[in-house]
Chains A and B, each alone.
Chain A
């Protein structure tokens, strides 16, 4: 078994240090934003406003076993504990009588929260944040298209106007201008376009490194690293997108992957099945991803975190604000809306030569039929696992392990 990646260890250490600095810096009452993953972080980066990403913090809470405590706090306040748990559990920071007991010393209290008005519950969750007198919610529109070209990943880096559509981009540019003005007035910090251009360039460089890393891993046999390593190596820098540290971290990750590939390193000595994990990370059971290596030689070679970094973020163009609009005007469509999502997963499955797909289907409206159907139509076996990625109440660990093992025995590796 291979050693944990140095880049993963470095990313996690950096995040801890950064978070501690953030907590220390909050004592002077400066502005701090709490934002959804699909908010335009680059604006905050440009203006030097520190921010924490809702979904990252949820993954930390869950990995530290705090989800049920958080959900109980929501329930006590009369809010549902069964809807969009991934986006909602961080709210518990508002109601926790002992906030310092939360992981990493607890989430500092934000002054600004930013999220899209997507879904039915997302904006409500941010509404609850903004019921606190010292927290302001800046909601952003989330538009949808009647008709889209299918192969978005070929268009997005430079021909994003074709992929996203002019009306949606016009709207999102308006939203970004509104956000900039709001932040200028609220924080007193200027938005400098020269700095913004640097941030956009760094973000693109970072994703180019991620693209190279994805391509290396797709070609490598055997798989040189565990997805549980690639997730922090990609996602911690993703949340620091637009900094030199993040760009360099993505390059360090790439170089480490390249070294491993050259050395013929493998995460599983006897690799017999290459698996793809579709869906959010199973944060309450990260050991799941390596559980089938010894028993079946089955290795998870793919998660969306590196792949979407490789394909989903690159946006070039002379007008950086419109390019940023193109990054976020249709971001979740890339992952969750057919035909984009379904066709992209098939493209990725083929590129990585996977033998099977484990598809996490949560009890939410994102739907799964068209993704599963497209993969099966491409001749790739799919196992749908019905579970929530942060809330383990409805999930029996032994049962999902057995289900996957049986599927590997009977479908993916029947002759073994």
Chain B
């Protein structure tokens, strides 16, 4: 019996370096990246496998804590710990975007460790400084940063990246985004057949696979969705922190919520924007206008997006889950609550990959449709 696409994608979400190991074994380059502001098209165009790196909530984060301090998002501290422990295997390079302050600090730590403690053996690292104000001057800057990244990737790859290769990669990633947008539409259907946990796994898996293979599997999954069992729960729109693992989704859905949409950058948010044209300028504009994410967008833009997206998926409640030391989302919440008009709750300062007992009590109230005030 052939494996279902859902099972295969879920397996890749569980073992995120599986495909990377195969690529390495075939003598091809694997580059890790941090943050959804990384223009993966350029990595694909260079013939590399881009693998988005995530943390491990149950892992040992002491090394990351040591270098980054305990005042930073624990997801970034975990990621650094895993890099130092060699959890991702050999990486030919590492691209870090400035999608949030924690990523910036992670980059600075990596750059400095390579300078002062070269024996640690970290891969070469490059910061891609994609900015987001909606100004033409910002577009020009982002374009310059993409050119700079392209130069670095050419040096790592040992060959030039042609415009045709960039154009082809843009087309391939846009096709994947289109399929994922269709999957998101299927997720929103009533009755629901895809849990939020499954959707998050699928999205994570597509960020570890070559783009063509990811697209094939998502197309196959689209055909499978109608035959999946119905799933039930309080239809919930999730905002707040990003989720690089499914732990919190699983806990929330086990408690009776059904996460039908979200606006963090491990979820559906990055699939909103396609590049559209096979040019470096179009690529720069796409990443400049990525989002709106909590750390980089205004309160007003976030609230407007959350309200629209929550309506589109017929959410019944709004839940903001915020990890400890994730500084942006709590500022967004008052306006998000007001704009969506849904029963809403804010879970602040939550441990990485988990919820406190008090938070679970709040979730139970929200599941029962009760408005929760801090």
Name A residues whose Cβ lies closer than 8 Å to a Cβ of B. Answer: 77-80, 82-84, 117, 119-121, 123-125, 127-128, 131, 139, 141-147, 167-168, 170-171, 174-175, 178, 337-339, 342, 361-370, 373-374
Q: Cβ of A142: which chain B residues have Cβ within 8 Å of it?
A: 131
**A143 and chain B: residue at smallest CB distance:** B129
Asked whether A124 lies within 8 Å of B348 as measured between CB atoms, the reply is no
Residues of B within 8 A of A364 (CB): 71
A121 to B137, CA, bound (A): 23
Q: How far is the CA of A142 from the CA of B67 in the complex (A)?
A: 24
CB-based contact A128/B137 at 8 Å: no
- Interface SS of chain B: helix, strand, loop or mixed? helix
Judge whether B71 and A365 touch: CB under 8 Å.
Answer: yes
Q: Are B127 and A178 neighbours in the complex by a CB distance under 8 Å?
A: no
| Stretch from B46-54, B158-166, B291-299, B353-361 that touches the partner | B291-299
Q: Determine the chain A residues whose CB is within 8 A of the CB of B112 once the complex forms.
A: 338-339, 342, 370
Q: Which residues of A contact B115 (CB under 8 A)?
A: 339
Alpha-carbon separation in the docked complex, A175 to B109 (Å): 28
A146 partner, pick from B66, B68, B126, B327, beta carbons under 8 A: B126
Residues in A with CB closer than 8 Å to B298 are 123-124, 127, 139
Q: How far is the CB of A170 from chain B (nearest CB, A)?
A: 7
Bound-state CA distance A338–B330 (Å) is 29
- Do A143 and B141 touch across chains, with their CB atoms under 8 A apart? yes
A-B pairs, 3 with minimum CB distance: A174-B137, A124-B331, A78-B334
Taking a contact as CB atoms closer than 8 A, the residue among B67, B132, B144, B299 that contacts A369 in the complex is B67
22 A-B pairs within 8 Å (CB atoms) are namely A77-B334, A119-B101, A119-B327, A123-B298, A124-B299, A125-B331, A127-B298, A128-B299, A128-B331, A141-B141, A143-B141, A144-B129, A145-B127, A168-B141, A174-B140, A364-B71, A365-B102, A365-B105, A365-B325, A367-B72, A367-B105, A369-B66
A217 to B46, CA, bound (A): 55
Identify which of B102, B145, B374 gathers the most chain A CB atoms within 10 Å of its CB. Answer: B145
For A368, the chain B residues whose CB sits under 8 A away are 69
Partner of B127, one of A82, A84, A139, A144: A144
Give Cα A328–Cα B144 distance, bound, in whole angstroms.
Answer: 20
Does chain A have a CB within 8 A of B350? no
Task: Assess whether A144 is in contact with B104, with CB atoms less than 8 Å apart.
Answer: yes
Do B129 and A146 touch across chains, with their CB atoms under 8 A apart?
A: yes
Contacting pair A146 B67 (CB below 8 A): no
B331 A79 Cβ-Cβ under 8 A = yes
B178 proximal to A (CB < 8 A) = no
Bound Cα distance A364, B30 (Å): 33
User: Which of B109, B300, B328 is in CB contact (< 8 Å) with A121?
Assistant: B328
**Nearest-Cβ distance from residue B136 to partner chain A, whole angstroms:** 8
The total of Cβ contacts below 8 Å across the A-B interface reads 146
Question: Chain B 294-328 against A: per-residue CB contact (8 Å), 1 yes, 0 no?
Answer: 11101110000000000000000000000001111
**Which residues from chain A contact B148 at a C-beta distance below 8 Å?**
146, 167
- Closest residue of chain B to A368 (Cβ to Cβ) is B69
Q: Any chain A CB within 8 A of the CB of B100?
A: yes
Any chain A CB within 8 A of the CB of B229? no
Query: Would you give the shortest CB distance from B97 to chain A, in whole angstroms?
Result: 11
Q: From residue 100 to 156 of chain B, which have CB atoms closer than 8 A to chain A?
A: 100-102, 104-105, 107-109, 111-112, 115-116, 126-129, 131-133, 135, 137-138, 140-141, 144-145, 148, 152
Q: A146: nearest residue on chain B (CB-CB)? A: B127
Question: Is B332's beta carbon under 8 Å from chain A?
Answer: yes
B319-373 CB contacts (< 8 Å) to partner A = 325-328, 330-335, 337, 348-349
A121 with B331: CB separation less than 8 A? yes
B98 interfacial contact with A, CB 8 Å:
yes
Chain A residue nearest to B299 (CB atoms) is A127
B299 touches A367 (CB 8 A): no
Pairwise interchain contact B334-A117, C-beta atoms closer than 8 A: no
B-side residues, CB < 8 A to A, are 66-73, 98, 100-102, 104-105, 107-109, 111-112, 115-116, 126-129, 131-133, 135, 137-138, 140-141, 144-145, 148, 152, 294-296, 298-300, 325-328, 330-335, 337, 348-349, 374
What residue of chain A has the Cβ atom nearest to residue B132's Cβ? A117
Given contacts A119-B101, A127-B299, contact A167 B141 (CB under 8 A): yes
Q: How far is the CB of A185 from chain B (nearest CB, A)?
A: 16
The complex places the Cα of A398 from the Cα of B104 at a distance, in Å, of 35
Q: Which B residues are CB-close (under 8 A) to A123? A: 298
Q: How far is the CA of A402 from the CA of B300 in the complex (A)?
A: 46
Contact A370–B109 (Cβ < 8 Å): yes
Partner of B327, one of A120, A170, A339, A369: A120
For the complex, what is the distance from the CA of A346 to the CA of B14, rounded to whole Å? 45
Asked if B108 and A367 make an inter-chain contact with CB atoms under 8 angstroms apart, the answer reads: yes
CB distance from B350 to the nearest CB of A (A): 13
Q: Residues of B contacting A139 with CB < 8 Å?
A: 133, 298
Task: Determine the residue in chain B with the shortest Cβ distance to A124.
Answer: B331
Quick one: which of A131, A144, A365 contacts B72, CB cutoff 8 A?
A365
A365 to B109 CA separation, bound complex (whole angstroms) = 12
Q: A77-B334, A125-B331, A167-B148 are in contact. List 13 more A-B contacts (CB 8 A).
A: A79-B334, A80-B327, A119-B327, A128-B331, A131-B335, A144-B107, A144-B127, A146-B128, A171-B137, A337-B108, A339-B116, A365-B102, A374-B116
Closest to A361 in B: B69
Task: Tell which of A121, A131, A171 touches B138, judged by Cβ atoms closer than 8 Å.
Answer: A171
Q: When the two chains form their complex, are residues B135 and A178 in contact, meaning their CB atoms are under 8 A apart? A: yes
Closest B residue to A372 by beta carbon equals: B69
Which among B112, B294, B331 has the highest number of chain A CB atoms within 10 Å? B331
